């Protein structure tokens, strides 16, 4: 398939596909008789995997390392597995942090649901005071 079709089917722009190819995330495509890139449909599976790695926040340097090992083929499985396991640990920690944040949001939202009076009492600014603040002394002398 040509780069335009690959872009359409993968959701990546043609520019991104060429960039990924240039830096080594995608293998160089075969060329047809007119020197246009001609991709095998199987590249879509690899692009989808790269997209997942990007979504979970894997740094590009780790993606490049993984891609280089993949390109070397058999015998690199353990190294590739280690990369994925290390990143999985980071993703689990991040997922737990996000879960804790979600709990805070849910609790806050539940506090607002059906609590109109509470919102009125606690979430509106206090009315402006006209007198002296509580606890301040007048400028009078003590002997008075």
Read off the pLDDT of residues 110-140 as tens digits, 9 standing for 90 and up.
888 766 655 565 666 666 666 665 555 555 5
User: What number is the average pLDDT over the span 78-95?
Assistant: 96
The three-state (H, E, C) secondary structure of 1-45, written as one string: CCHHHHHHHHCCCHHHHHHHHHHCCCCCCEECCCCCEECCCCHHH
Tell me how many domains the chain contains. Answer: 2
What is this structure's pTM? Answer: 0.69
Cβ neighbours, 10 Å, residue 111: 13
Tell me the angle at which helices 77-112 and 60-72 cross, rounded to the nearest 10 degrees.
150
- Identify whether residues 64 and 41 lie together within a single domain: no
Residue closest to 52 by CA, chosen among 79, 28, 87: 87
Give the domain CATH number at 2: 1.10.1660.10
User: What mean pLDDT is reported for the chain?
Assistant: 86
- Identify whether residues 66 and 20 lie together within a single domain: no
Q: Which of 31, 55, 79 is the last residue of a domain?
A: 55
Confidence (pLDDT) at 113: 76
In a domain? residue 134: no
With vertex at residue 1, the alpha carbon angle to CA 21 and CA 24, rounded to the nearest 5 degrees, is 10
Query: Distance between CA atoms of 45 and 10, rounded to whole angstroms?
Result: 9
User: What number is the average pLDDT over the span 64-91?
Assistant: 96
Instruction: Note down the domain range covering 92.
Output: 58-121
- Identify whether residues 34 and 3 lie together within a single domain: yes
- Identify whether residues 29 and 69 lie together within a single domain: no
- Identify whether residues 106 and 78 lie together within a single domain: yes
**Residues 20, 26: contact at Cβ < 8 Å?**
yes
């Amino acid at each position: 398939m040509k780069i335009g079709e690959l872009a359409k089917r993968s959701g990546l722009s043609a520019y991104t596909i060429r960039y990924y190819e240039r830096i080594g995330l995608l293998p160089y495509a075969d060329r047809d008789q007119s020197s246009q890139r001609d991709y095998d449909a199987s590249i879509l599976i690899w692009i989808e995997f790269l997209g997942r790695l990007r979504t979970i926040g894997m740094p590009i340097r780790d993606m490049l390392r993984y891609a280089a090992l993949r390109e070397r083929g058999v015998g690199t499985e353990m190294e590739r597995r280690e990369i994925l396991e290390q990143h999985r640990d980071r993703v689990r920690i991040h997922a737990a942090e996000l879960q804790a944040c979600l709990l805070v949001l849910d609790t806050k939202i539940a506090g607002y649901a059906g609590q109109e009076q509470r919102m009125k009492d606690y979430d509106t600014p206090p009315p402006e005071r006209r007198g002296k603040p509580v606890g301040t002394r007048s400028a009078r002398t003590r002997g008075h």
